[in-house]
Structure 1
């Protein structure tokens, strides 16, 4: 038994009442609920539509957890998978051939710091530029953040993953601020430390750009087609 538009609208509103505000998860629940309600009414023609909706929810999502239980599980799984994918991409920069680029960045930055009497101050500008460029990347996916007033999960994860860039930037700043009084920044270990942080920050930015491009391509074909 196929549901009519009014019945589908009823299910849509019913799901939204449970604060399912991520578009992909909402659509997954909606598809499941429509098919489930149709099946219930097909097997039980005398069954009331509203009652069938309640039965479909319990059968598909459990009496206690419900839609929000699935929402929590999906968010946790999506964040875990995004982190796993990012770490995999970062690891690629420490294997050939991308390892060549990583070593080049580290060596070039170390040489760059050697040109300054106060390398800790010189370090601030490149790190800030990388951070600002990372922030600028958000402009590329700004229009893909919402659909029908719901958050696009894939775009949301982009924002979460970009936090690594700013965390490393903060690490670099904290290292300089809290060690400025008792560390000789002209020592090779101090410059090596700043070079390592900068290298990781730049690699994180490159990975973020890769993921951003891939995500936008997927969104254009899957949601914003």
Structure 2
């Protein structure tokens, strides 16, 4: 006995009812359930579709699909970090390393002069505002994409919702930052803080601008069916 298209649609609805919101995870679960239901029917053909479905679902245990969702999040989180690291490394190669060094030296110089706190503080405030603007823009774009395609993909969710608030966090802790510098002997504190601020800017730029611009390419690489499913 084979499942019909109507059965498949019911399985998609079933996964959504059990708090699986991403289409790619739904598809994996539907494929698994469909194969298992057909095997159950071979062994016990008198069962209805709902009975076979519920029997298959019980095999997922007390937490249902949640373990599968969490495992997928870990898998794609590792994939996202790999993509992030790829673009971070580019900032330590020519010609971008020149800009990286310039950002670092900017902070390192102004941190050590009396009026530098205002310049660094103003820079961090601007970074925080830019972060908020880009985060808002990305969230609107993500909502527009999901509304248009009527599908949410987990990796797409990560790309558009890994919003960097690095600048905001640093700016909010500015007094503690400079208090630490004053208590640190020699230039070690200035070096450390300059490095953290430089990496914060690079991280913000990559997560808020670079990776979202590569979204289509990354999603088609991750999901061969992505282009077809959203056409």
Structure-2 separation of matches of 1:182 and 1:20? 45
Alpha-carbon displacement from aligned partner over 1:61-95 (angstroms, at most 9, x marks no partner): 53345312211211233224323432443244335
Alpha-carbon displacement from aligned partner over 1:165-199 (angstroms, at most 9, x marks no partner): 4235423541x3126568659x9666545533331
Matches within 5 A, 1:112-191: 113=110, 117-138=114-135, 139-140=137-138, 142-145=140-143, 146=146, 151-158=152-159, 161-162=162-163, 165-167=164-166, 169-174=168-173, 176-178=174-176
Structure-1 separation of matches of 2:166 and 2:89? 18
Q: Is the alpha carbon distance of 1:179 and 1:17 closer, same or farther for their aligned partners in structure 2, counting shifts above 3 Å? A: closer
Q: Is the alpha carbon distance of 1:108 and 1:42 closer, same or farther for their aligned partners in structure 2, counting shifts above 3 Å? A: same
Alignment gaps of 5+ in structure 1? none
Counterpart for residue 227 of structure 2: 221
Structure-1 separation of matches of 2:152 and 2:77? 15
CA RMSD across the alignment: 3.7
Alpha-carbon displacement from aligned partner over 1:83-130 (angstroms, at most 9, x marks no partner): 34324432443355543332132224445x389751111112222222
CA deviation after TM superposition for structure 1 residue 203, in Å: 0.8
Counterpart for residue 28 of structure 2: 28
User: Match of 1:66, SS?
Assistant: coil
Q: Is the alpha carbon distance of 1:205 and 1:108 closer, same or farther for their aligned partners in structure 2, counting shifts above 3 Å? A: same
Please report the TM-score for the alignment, with normalisation by the length of structure 2. Answer: 0.71
Counterpart for residue 72 of structure 1: 70
**How many pairs were matched up?**
218
Structure-2 separation of matches of 1:222 and 1:171? 42
Structure-2 separation of matches of 1:141 and 1:181? 35
Alignment gaps of 5+ in structure 2? 221-225
Alpha-carbon displacement from aligned partner over 1:203-222 (angstroms, at most 9, x marks no partner): 11232122212224427736
Q: Is the alpha carbon distance of 1:3 and 1:167 closer, same or farther for their aligned partners in structure 2, counting shifts above 3 Å? A: same
User: Match of 1:25, SS?
Assistant: helix
